[in-house]
Structure 1
Amino acid sequence: MTAPSNTYVTTSAIGNKEDLSDIIYRISPTTTPLMNMAAKAKASNTLHEWQTQDLASAVTTNAQAEGDNATAKSVTPTVRLSNRTQIASKTVIVSGTQQAMNPAGRKDELAYQLSMASLELKRDMESALCQLDVAATSPRQARGLVGWVVDNVDNNAGTLASYTGNTGRTVGTPRAFTEAQLKNVLQKCYSAGGEPDTIMVGPAQKQTFSTFSGNATRFDKSEDAKLYAAIDVYVSDFGSLKVVPNRFQAARDVFVLQADKLALAYLRPFSTIELATTGDAVQRELVVEYTLECRAPKAHGAIYDVL
């Protein structure tokens, strides 16, 4: 049927208000597992330093003669480690006209753009913290997990990074991710004195991990009929570990981490700088200066070169 003659319809109308939702929907991921896991620390120099200490090896022959003179033990010196602070920033410039407008979904355009910049900055930091392998000075760059986790490793050829020589890694030949590799790394961590509590994996490796048949805990709700196929906690011979997916680490890496032996040291915490006005616009720069403090490299492990 058609409308009666002279019916005033929307296609002829002038002045109907637009229907624009006052909500802005985002899908881009903003979770940062490594930054959330690590402790917060204070850096006071662009070269941030700390010390580690190893105990002397245990011996089975510590039996002394009665009345014998005391002999001083050999002293194991501390090891001095360091990392460079890295400056990360995002700059937002909004025209004076746009700032005066009444946009949908936000009350203040500058404030909204700064909030988006802060989320993007955290994503950049998470990616750098997971993937950078060497420290640099021009511009300053912080060594990330790949450059620190080199002691308890299961890899497939290639070369590992060196935090003492500040050399990067070369990747090996990709191979399937297996539970045997994980058990190998967990054993190495335990033998070195570590007590890892977190397994951090990329999305593909998380799905592979959920097929492992070892001592794994799947959380379930008895009152529903859903099938839960994901592994959330891995119960190993050396303790229970959370399994955490991370979108921002390289797909070829799986990290086995001890959370209390990692810290994010800030020389300058997140701050907003009001830049000079050079035209009909407002300018703000969001800045942070930070580094990764790997408090005990031997506490951590990794499986590298996985598919």
Structure 2
Amino acid sequence: MAQAAGTSDTYDMKGKAEDFRDVIYTVAKEETPFQKLIGTDYEVTATKHQWQTDTLRAPATNAKPEGNETSFTEVAPTVEVSNYCQISDESFMISNTAEAVKKYGRKSEIKRQTVKKAKELVRDMEYSMVGVKQASSAGSAGTPVRQAGSLWTWLSTNANRGATGANGGYNPATNLTVAPTDGTLRNFAEAQIKDVQQKCFNAGAKPTVIMMHSSVKSTFSGFAGIALNRVDQKVSKTGDAQATILGAADVYQGDFGFLTALANPWQSVRDVALLDPEMWEVGFLRGIKQTPLAKTGDAEKRLVNCEWTLVAKNEASSAVIADVQPTP
């Protein structure tokens, strides 16, 4: 079949309208599971945020005679701990022409980049909290960069580590957290969960969430203590309904309670945390905000930043299984 002579077609046409979908499609993980789990409404008022922890003495035989003359024992004081606020920021610059021209998918390039940078900033915070073993730092006049101690630098009371691994924890002499020492990698195993669950129980802790990197989630789903691996379907009119077998585990039942599984793509691959969400929070000295910067030309400059810290209300409430890898 051939085109008829003299036909005007789109190949010769001028002034054709573009077919441009007025939407921007983004593929990227935006969620921050740890922050969503523990909450971000905690306000702090200084660059060094301090709080106190306490515990009860060990139980003992307690029987006294009638008319007993009471003796007094000094009550152990509370323990003061702290973490430093870390400044995180993103910036961008948009020419005034780029802001003025008509665009597809957004009216304002400044607004689009503000939202994008804020999302990237929150992911950076998540990575700083759970993706690295970042010890806290007060900074100094010569190096004025403060760092918030990450999750892994706090956990020390209830721990299961590979050979040669060592706890970090909070150092009351320096008022800083110390990064743990990585040990020998070993396969992630159910016995490790049982061990730290028992340690938590003996310490009076009640973790309800087990958070792990997505790469070890499939190993976790194969453990025998999985509480639910089938969902019953509603009975049909013919009475032939069958159960659906789930390929992933969301709840683990151990000897000392249930743990809800939470996969986190940003956390350290070799570390698993058992968490009591009520005992952790993100504190903000300054919330996420966009600020216009001084103009030096025909463009708009913007800074998106915040000042935050991780508040470990009592690290003994949680636990760590370190130095693990997916089972082959």
Shorter-chain TM range is over 0.9
Query: Are residue 264 (structure 1) and residue 282 (structure 2) matched?
Result: yes
Alignment of 1:1-307 (within 5 A): 1-39=1-39, 40-59=41-60, 61-130=61-130, 131-136=132-137, 137=139, 138-156=144-162, 157-164=164-171, 166-218=177-229, 220=231, 222-223=233-234, 227-307=245-325
Q: TM-score, with normalisation over the residues of structure 2? A: 0.89
Q: For structure 2, list consecutive stretches of 5 or more residues without a partner in the other structure.
A: 235-241
Does the aligned pair in 2 maintain the 1:133–1:148 contact within 8 Å?
Answer: no
CA distance in 2, matches of 1:218, 1:13: 61
Does the aligned pair in 1 maintain the 2:230–2:243 contact within 8 Å?
Answer: no
User: For 2:225, what is the secondary structure of its paired residue?
Assistant: coil
**Alpha-carbon offset, residue 123 of structure 1:** 0.3
User: For 1:217, what is the secondary structure of its paired residue?
Assistant: coil
269-278 or 116-125, which moves further after superposition? 269-278
164-173 or 103-112, which moves further after superposition? 164-173
Partner of 2:238: none
- Percent identity among equivalent residues? 35
Question: Which AA in structure 1 matches 2:184?
Answer: T
**Alpha-carbon offset, residue 150 of structure 1:** 1.8
227-236 or 183-192, which moves further after superposition? 227-236
Alignment deviations for residues 268-306 of structure 1 (CA, whole Å, 9 cap, x no partner): 111221111111111111111010010011111011111
CA distance in 2, matches of 1:178, 1:37: 24
Does the aligned pair in 2 maintain the 1:133–1:161 contact within 8 Å?
Answer: no
Question: Which AA in structure 1 matches 2:107?
Answer: K
User: For 1:106, what is the secondary structure of its paired residue?
Assistant: coil
CA distance in 1, matches of 2:318, 2:43: 22
Alignment deviations for residues 106-126 of structure 1 (CA, whole Å, 9 cap, x no partner): 111100110000100000000
Alignment deviations for residues 72-96 of structure 1 (CA, whole Å, 9 cap, x no partner): 2341111100101000111121110
Does the aligned pair in 1 maintain the 2:46–2:285 contact within 8 Å?
Answer: yes
CA distance in 2, matches of 1:274, 1:153: 46
Aligned residues: 306
CA distance in 2, matches of 1:242, 1:194: 16
174-183 or 164-173, which moves further after superposition? 164-173
**Alpha-carbon offset, residue 215 of structure 1:** 4.0
Q: Provide the aligned C-alpha RMSD in A.
A: 1.6
**Alpha-carbon offset, residue 221 of structure 1:** 5.4
Alignment deviations for residues 35-90 of structure 1 (CA, whole Å, 9 cap, x no partner): 1122431211111100001111111x211112111122341111100101000111
**Alpha-carbon offset, residue 202 of structure 1:** 0.5
Q: For structure 1, list consecutive stretches of 5 or more residues without a partner in the other structure.
A: none
CA distance in 1, matches of 2:299, 2:21: 27
Q: TM-score, with normalisation over the residues of structure 1? A: 0.95
275-284 or 233-242, which moves further after superposition? 233-242
Question: Which AA in structure 2 matches 1:297?
Answer: E
CA distance in 2, matches of 1:181, 1:107: 53
Does the aligned pair in 2 maintain the 1:132–1:142 contact within 8 Å?
Answer: no
Does the aligned pair in 2 maintain the 1:54–1:76 contact within 8 Å?
Answer: no
User: For 1:243, what is the secondary structure of its paired residue?
Assistant: strand
**Alpha-carbon offset, residue 15 of structure 1:** 2.0
CA distance in 2, matches of 1:120, 1:276: 23
Alignment deviations for residues 201-235 of structure 1 (CA, whole Å, 9 cap, x no partner): 11111111111111422363515875421111112
**Alpha-carbon offset, residue 128 of structure 1:** 0.3
